[in-house]
Amino acid sequence: MSNHCAYLWFWRRIAGIIIAVAVILLLLWYSLSPPRLPHIEPCPDDWLYYRKKCYYLSEDQADWTFSQNFCLAHGASLAVIDSKQEMHFIMNRMRTRDFWIGLYKQDDEYHWLSGEVLDTNLFYINISRYENCGHTASASISASKCRLKKKWLCSMPQLQSSTLSL
C-alpha cells in the first residue's frame, strides 16, 4: 500500500506542477498580447464630437431644404442647439459662422426640428419676420430666405455600440 500512496502522491505533485506552469504561461501570453477589442468611435469619420453629440460641417453650400435632406440621409438633422454651452462650442471652438441650422418658421414662430419652440431668452437672436430658415451668424442666431446657399451644420446623438457594425 505504501508503494501505491507514493505513486499517487508523485502524480498529484506532477499534475499540480503542470497546472501551475500552464497558468503561468497563460498569464504571460495574455499580458504580452491582450485580446483586441473593437475600437468604437462615438461619431462617424469626418464628424466632430461634443457632449454626446456628433457634428458635421459641410464644405459645400446649398439651400436649407437640401441641407436638411443631406443630414437626414446620414441619420442626422440640421443642428438643434440646446444650450448656451453648445452655442459657445459651435461658434468659438468649431469656429462656424453662417451655417444653416435646424431652425425654421411655422405660423409666425420659430421652431427647432426637434419640435421645440425657439427660446429667445437663451440666445441672442437677430431674426426678421420675413425670413423663414435659421442659421448661425457672428455671435447669434439669425434667419434668411430658405433658398439662399449656405454651408450647413448637421448634428446627431453619439453612436451607440449596438448601432455600429463591426
pLDDT in tens, 87-144: 888 888 767 678 999 999 988 889 999 999 988 888 788 877 788 999 988 778 899 9
Domain 48-158 has CATH 2.40.160.10: no
The continuous run of DSSP H or E covering 135 comes out as strand 133-136
Measured CA to CA, the distance from residue 9 to residue 13 in angstroms comes to 6
Contact 115, 63 (CB under 8 A): no
pLDDT in tens, 24-82: 877 777 677 665 655 577 888 889 888 889 999 999 999 999 999 999 999 999 999 98
The residue type of 70 is F
- Residue 147's nearest CA partner among 30, 41, 67, 75 is 67
Q: Any idea where the domains of the chain sit in the sequence?
A: 1-37, 48-158
How confident is the model at residue 62, as a pLDDT? 97
How confident is the model at residue 144, as a pLDDT? 93
How confident is the model at residue 143, as a pLDDT? 92
Contact 69, 77 (CB under 8 A): no
How confident is the model at residue 166, as a pLDDT? 33
**82 contact partners, CB below 8 Å, separation of at least 6:** none
Angstrom distances, CA of residue 109 to CA of 87, 116, 128, 132: 20, 10, 11, 9
